Structure 1
Amino acid sequence: MNAAAQAAPRTAARLPGLTLLAACFGFMVVQLDVTIVNLALPTLAADLASELPDLQWVMDAYTLMFAALLLSAGALSDRIGARRSFLLGLGGFLLASLGCGLAASAAQLIAARAGQGLFAALMVPSSLALLNHAFAHDPPKRARAMAVWTASGAVAATLGSVAGGALLQSLGWRSIFLVNLPICAIGIALAWRIAETPRRPERHVDIAGQLLAIAALAGLIAAIIELPRLGHGHPLVLGAAATAIVCALAFVAVESRTREPMLPLALFRLPGLSIALLTAIAVAVAYYALLFAMSLYLQQRAGYTPFQAGLAYVPLAASFIAANLLSGRLLARRGFRFALLLGLLLCAAGFAWLSRLAPGDRYAWILPAFVAIPAGMGLAMPATTTLVLASVERSLSATAAAVLNASRQTGAALGVAVCGLLLIGDGGLGIGLRTVCHVSAGVLLAAAVLAWMCIPGASFVRRSSAERPLVV
């Protein structure tokens, strides 16, 4: 056997590892941006002379595009190939991050953030498709690869708070965007060496539905964000609200008639899936409203430096990871109804505790909430995923999972938008933060009541899971 023949198996064996590494770099840069930009909000407000709605747009331009494009991105990945889609996403994200770092105004930064969201939406489904292809013949290794991919996002969120705070304090806000450049470059270098996945050129991309989804979601977010600044009678607010309603109705009409809809409306006839989506949106609304409000409160009201604020966020990630690791055992023993209810109630209790925060309170008062809220999320999120996948046939599991992820991103955008309504007032950030906590606790309690009333108990879960194994 010649040297080339001997080298071939070793090269092939390394390809799954390269694929996993490349996918992790892509997912890390997506997750990193969520945490790190929240920390930069007070600095951006000062350096770019931005008002609160401008800061909301900095966050929501990214999340809005991510949410709206996530469903179509999967179809595009199938059509042009996952590797090509992943490289396009990484390259575009690199350029958009450069645009963020060079932005001279809030408007330029918002536009570049929208670009980041667009290319992030390309990266996430294509990275999963690459992993699925690379480990297709070894399900146990594929499961471990998915776990590593998920963990890389959690690690990025944790590092993002600490490293982001250090970068902000030492090098300024532009550095938090420019740090994406070497990460994306490494991801591109790795992805360039892996094999392309099979393409499906016959796969239809629902362009009409996609444009209507973007317009509807953008109109809704614009109406909410601009309402405090412009007033309810302003033509822009009225026009945005009208656009959201008209485009949402048109979207339903288009999706009910198109051959391959980006969002199969028949999914919403499944009670379990609908409840899971509403719950996922509620959790995302509450959590992202908290991140937005707390970033402003800690630095503008409590006097934290960016690095201190970043350190303050570490328990959020640590508690979420710990609860997420425990969730599998809890789901197996008690079913997703119990895990979901426990998670929602734990989140609500954390917000109720934080709503009592008073000026001058030390971090020790905040810490219990920073443990309880992410711990509840760490239990609730796997439960909603399991409920979604248990509600659909296996052939629809990928579509259902994509709908769930898009719902979470939509909830994140709504959380930031609604947070602005609650923060603006005569009481300042202290009163505004307490209002955010009261509303968030109420939303989570309502979701818990809905889940308790509409989701079958654990005994039903065991019977149904015996009949049809869950895809987790």
Structure 2
Amino acid sequence: MKKNQTGFWFVVITTSLAFVVSQLDVSIVNVAVPQIGKSFSANISTLQWIVDAYTIAFAVLMLSAGGMSDLLGSRRLFQIGILIFGIASVGCGLACNARSLIGFRALQGIGSATMIPSSLSILSNNFSNEPKLKARAIAYWTAGGAISIAAGPVVGGLLVNMSSWRIIFLVNIPICLAGFFLSIYLTDSVKSKSKGFDIPGQLIWMLALTVFIAAMIEWHTLGPTSPIIYGGISFSILMLIMFIWRERVAKAPILPLDLFNSRNFNVFIGLGMSLNWIYYGLVFVLSLYLQQVLHYTAFQTGLAFLPLTGGFLISNLMSGYLMDRYGIRVPILIGSVVFAAGCICLLAAKTETPYWHLLFPFFGLPFGMGVAVPAMTTGTLATVTAGRSGIASAVLNTTRQAAGAVDVAVFGTMASGGTNQIVSAITVIAIIAAVYMLFYALLIYKTLQELNHYK
């Protein structure tokens, strides 16, 4: 490591603090939803928006945050983001009604969208001349976020039992303060030479993604024949077409379309979307399965998800070792195949399935994802120059968040209607997901054979 660079572990731990709190708040809220509903006499639709306001804001603003990271410097944007997230967490913890909670959840999403691309850009630039250290740093950074999202239901259950639902937000404050003050000593990223900011492009993108996700969320309540649903989907498609046109002509696009000229970049983005598309939707449905089919309590459900934490922890650390030894292709292939095997084993989920029959999929899904994602992230950043690492990170995380948010809505609709419908949905999803991931593994094997320079 260069003498003028901050220590390896200091950089990893500081940037990981942001990823940990942002990912923790994706899943920790689910356990507290019943208590929040009682506190505010909120209906199901309102509770959905409390959960999803965060994800939507996260996804729609991350592209802009990635470009701003490259333009202004990643350290400055990291500090702004973690302060916003901390202030929003205070607001969530002190919210006096459901509307204010939804608003502060959206503000949390804005903070996360700002923190994540800038934190990954800091990692990438600090170790840009040392590929092995860079791969290892990304593996540890990914592990922190993956473990936190898997541990969210367990931590949420413990905190809610100890106090009230408000503590799940207030616990973020010391983490945010630590991240802000430690980041003062970080090395800043290489700034892009590009000047300007595409405000029309950001607004169009925000409309396209927000309206589409909102239509997916309300699909179950209003039905596909509702003018609001098909009108919203049609409008979002029109906005997406306008967005692509805008990015082609903008002088400083928030999404440089030339990124997609790289076949390898497209493969990595597709893999990230696929893993999130399947994993987050399955975890949502499995939570329904454990509580409504096997009749677990919320806390028992959280404990049942503990293998996810172990799977992510072991696999993320293993991914760093595999990348050091074999490059990125081997861990991506191993992760994709194990992930597909976990999906196949979910076919064991029936109305009276013993929990131990589900141990492999509960461990194998996060294990496969955890092995593949650090290598996928390393490969994505390797396809761009140092000055574009922020936008590359933003594209990767935006597509992953959007895929996960949409699929929770789709899989949730498939699983609505009672015990048999939930079991049937898991069966159908498991088969489709396993076949798809095996196909993608073959695509990866063929496409990534030329990636020896990423070793």
- Asked if 1:29 corresponds to 2:21, the answer is yes
Q: Say if 2:346 and 2:426, in contact at 8 Å, map to a contact too.
A: no
2: CA distance between counterparts of 1:282 and 1:198? Answer: 31
Shift of 1:417: 1.6
Residues 40/350 of structure 1: CA separation in 2 closer, same or farther (3 Å cut):
farther
Shift of 1:364: 1.4
Counterpart of 1:59 in structure 2 is 51
Q: Say if 1:40 and 1:173, in contact at 8 Å, map to a contact too.
A: yes
Counterpart of 1:421 in structure 2 is 413
Question: Residues 306-339 of structure 1, C-alpha deviation per residue, up to 9 Å, x if partnerless?
Answer: 4332222221121123233334565677776665
1: CA distance between counterparts of 2:269 and 2:127? Answer: 29
Q: Pick from 403, 421, 439: which aligns with 1:431?
A: 421
Shift of 1:415: 1.8
- Asked if 1:93 corresponds to 2:104, the answer is no
2: CA distance between counterparts of 1:436 and 1:214? Answer: 32
Q: Pick from 393, 397, 412: which aligns with 1:405?
A: 397
Q: Pick from 222, 228, 232: which aligns with 1:230?
A: 222
Counterpart of 2:433 in structure 1 is 443
The within-5 A match list for 1:450-461 is 450-452=440-442, 454-455=443-444, 457=446, 461=449
Comparing 265-274 with 137-146, greater Cα deviation is found at 137-146
Q: Pick from 278, 281, 304: which aligns with 1:312?
A: 304
Shift of 1:247: 0.8
- Structure 2, unpaired ranges of 5+: none
Counterpart of 1:182 in structure 2 is 174
Counterpart of 1:167 in structure 2 is 159
Q: Quote the sequence identity (%).
A: 38
Give 3-state SS (helix, strand or coil) of 1:63's partner: helix
Counterpart of 1:249 in structure 2 is 241
Shift of 1:221: 0.9
2: CA distance between counterparts of 1:102 and 1:215? Answer: 29
Q: Pick from 264, 280, 289: which aligns with 2:281?
A: 289
Counterpart of 2:361 in structure 1 is 369
Shift of 1:138: 7.3
Counterpart of 1:379 in structure 2 is 371
- Asked if 1:214 corresponds to 2:203, the answer is no
- Structure 1, unpaired ranges of 5+: 1-9
Residues 345/430 of structure 1: CA separation in 2 closer, same or farther (3 Å cut):
farther
Paired residues in the alignment total: 453
Shift of 1:53: 4.3
2: CA distance between counterparts of 1:385 and 1:88? Answer: 24
Give 3-state SS (helix, strand or coil) of 2:353's partner: coil
Q: Which amino acid aligns with 2:357?
A: W
Counterpart of 1:83 in structure 2 is 75
- Which of the pair has more CA radius of gyration? 1
Comparing 144-153 with 220-229, greater Cα deviation is found at 144-153
- Asked if 1:203 corresponds to 2:195, the answer is yes
Residues 340/25 of structure 1: CA separation in 2 closer, same or farther (3 Å cut):
closer
1: CA distance between counterparts of 2:80 and 2:388? Answer: 26
2: CA distance between counterparts of 1:119 and 1:41? Answer: 22
Q: Which amino acid aligns with 1:79?
A: L
Comparing 13-22 with 442-451, greater Cα deviation is found at 13-22
Residues 60/91 of structure 1: CA separation in 2 closer, same or farther (3 Å cut):
same
RMSD: 3.5
1: CA distance between counterparts of 2:137 and 2:120? Answer: 10
Residues 355/455 of structure 1: CA separation in 2 closer, same or farther (3 Å cut):
closer
Instruction: With the length of structure 2 as denominator, give the TM-score of the two structures.
Output: 0.85
1: CA distance between counterparts of 2:368 and 2:129? Answer: 35
Give 3-state SS (helix, strand or coil) of 2:224's partner: coil
1: CA distance between counterparts of 2:380 and 2:188? Answer: 30
Counterpart of 2:115 in structure 1 is 123
Q: Say if 1:275 and 1:451, in contact at 8 Å, map to a contact too.
A: no
Shift of 1:17: 6.5
Q: Say if 1:336 and 1:384, in contact at 8 Å, map to a contact too.
A: yes
Instruction: With the length of structure 1 as denominator, give the TM-score of the two structures.
Output: 0.82
Q: Say if 2:70 and 2:387, in contact at 8 Å, map to a contact too.
A: no
Give 3-state SS (helix, strand or coil) of 2:229's partner: helix
2: CA distance between counterparts of 1:140 and 1:272? Answer: 20
